[in-house]
Amino acid sequence: MKKFRLGIVSLFMLAMLVGCQSKQARVNDDNTFVVGMECNYTPFNWQTMDASDTAVSIGGAGYCDGYDVMIAQDLADRLDQKLEVKKLAWEGLLPALESGEIDAIIAGMTADETREKGIDFTTPYYESEMVMITRASGEEASYDDIQQFGGKHVIGQKSTNYDTVIDQIENVNHATPKATYPEMVVALQKMEVDGITAELPVAQGVVASNPDLTIVHFAQDKGFDIDTSVSIGLKEGSRGTEFFEEVQQALDDISEDQRNSYMDRARENSPETGEPTDGVAVKDQGFFTKVTNIAKQYWPLFAYGVQITLILAFVGTIFGLLIGLLLGTLRSFTIEESDAKLVKVLKRIAHGFVGLYVWVLRGTPMMVQAFFIYYLLKPIVHWNPLTAGMIIISVNTGAYMAEIIRAGIQSIDKGQTEGARSIGMSNLQTMFFIILPQAIKNQLPSIGNQLIVNIKDSSMLNVIGVVDLYFQSTSVAGSVYQFSETFFVTSLVYLFLTTIATVILNLIEKRMGHPKTLERGV
């Protein structure tokens, strides 16, 4: 039915973890059923600030609610365990399951041949209909055969079977897929595409928030040839174990009527079908009215995301600077003829290590580093995503800071070194008391810019479950299907944060008498 995101990074991490981890059915041995989901895929799962008898707390990030949550809660009750929901990006679900961070994936995942090579699936817990979302005013609204979309621009969700099924349409213009439904909705409304592939519950949510769109149902034998069922994913190798059998039995005990009632309730409670804000229906609200309502309703989620973003940015910059000071200093030491053999060897080793560190960390995306470091060390250190995120961003920033410090050291006139040595100062004394203070002062603009970069780039850590501002924004957009309005709020928040950071850094430079305070862009 749904998503198929087994990208290169996920496949790499999955292969690595399969080799490193034992094949036990379940790593969480306590009385808790830990389930992973995105919490931004209405009506299956979404994030909210409203407590209810169906919502499950996800810490300071509020609650997760929806059909998947109801199914998970029912299973936990039948297993006589407490339910814990972990909010993770889709790309992080597979490695989280394989590493034992979660016991199960309940996120609208379809069991197919590719996934079954790394996941053991239960029988389906829901089955839907594959439809197309189009503009209500277009001719496409009257279609009943997928082949009528031949020659039209059709888009699907990136790395999912929603995207792959588009090629079943002859002569279709297969548009470049996008990561989320809110993004695709914007493309449809701006007439960049003519149709969006979707499953019926999701399409109903999209149309409820966007009355200018409609759903196209296809006649029998004229629709897509695709499996529209979703199943629960358990760790590979668990089939036949007591835990797998318990989960399967609990799922079998949930009647079809009960499952349907859960979906009906999820549709009723989903954000886009709730009560009109301030008495005005969504279809009658203007852009800025929607922006204001989103900011008012979801400000606690944005505030929590800002808090996490700032923690990551400041911790990453401070500790990254410390790492950069050490590595940049080591790399700046020259090998002199007067050095002892051992000293020469140590300097060469230091230069090689720093060069390798900077080459690897600057040459690979922080998202890949997050996957690799977090899930590789998770079974050993048992850290949480935020702690791991702070370490990862610090290590990554350290590579850039090392080059900044090295450039600062090289900018100092050699006469400074010669003068220090002439009064009897050692190499270390010269470096720490003469060279480094001036180098740091000269490189303040670059150091400050790295803080601003970290405020924005911390969003890459959402793949390991760090709930920063960007991750919160995608959750809100995925819940209300108002992409432009939600990210307009997000852009204003990021702009505010980076502007304040720029002003403070400029004041610090002025206070320290920097020779030329550079003007930064935000």
The answer to whether 177 and 157 have CB atoms below 8 angstroms apart is yes
Please tell me the predicted confidence (pLDDT) of residue 331.
84
Give the CA distances from residue 191 to residues 150, 152, 286, 442, 446, in Å, rounded to whole numbers and listed in that order. Answer: 16, 11, 19, 50, 42
CATH top-level class of 8-126+229-274: alpha beta
Sole residue written with tokens 């370490």? 391
Please tell me the predicted confidence (pLDDT) of residue 329.
87
Please tell me the predicted confidence (pLDDT) of residue 16.
44
Domain 297-511 has CATH 3.40.50.300: no
pTM over 0.85: no
Query: 333 is written with which tokens?
Result: 């030491």
Tens-place pLDDT, residues 8-44:
344 344 444 444 444 455 555 568 999 999 888 888 9
Sole residue written with tokens 């039209």? 152
CATH T-level topology, domain 130-216: D-Maltodextrin-Binding Protein; domain 2 (3.40.190)
The answer to whether 45 and 65 have CB atoms below 8 angstroms apart is yes
Tens-place pLDDT, residues 463-480:
888 889 998 888 888 777
What is the C-alpha separation between 512 and 506, in angstroms, rounded?
10
The type of residue at 517 is T
Tens-place pLDDT, residues 178-227:
877 888 998 999 999 999 999 898 898 888 888 899 999 999 999 999 88
Please tell me the predicted confidence (pLDDT) of residue 162.
84
What is the C-alpha separation between 164 and 179, in angstroms, rounded?
14
The answer to whether 231 and 122 have CB atoms below 8 angstroms apart is yes
Q: Which of 378, 370, 470, 367 is nearest to 97 (CA)?
A: 378
Please tell me the predicted confidence (pLDDT) of residue 283.
53
The type of residue at 179 is A
Spell out, as residue ranges, where the chain has pLDDT lower than 70.
1-30, 272-285, 513-522
CA dihedral 174, 176, 178, 183 (to 10 degrees): -80
| Domain limits, the chain | 8-126+229-274, 130-216, 297-511
User: SS3 for 264-310, per residue?
Assistant: HHHHHHCHHHCCCECCECHHHCCHHHHHHHHHHHHHHHHHHHHHHHH
Please tell me the predicted confidence (pLDDT) of residue 143.
97
Domains 8-126+229-274 and 130-216 share a fold: yes
Phi-psi region of 106 (alpha: psi -120 to 50; beta: other; left: phi over 0): beta
Cα angle at 181 between 180 and 185, to 5 degrees? Answer: 130
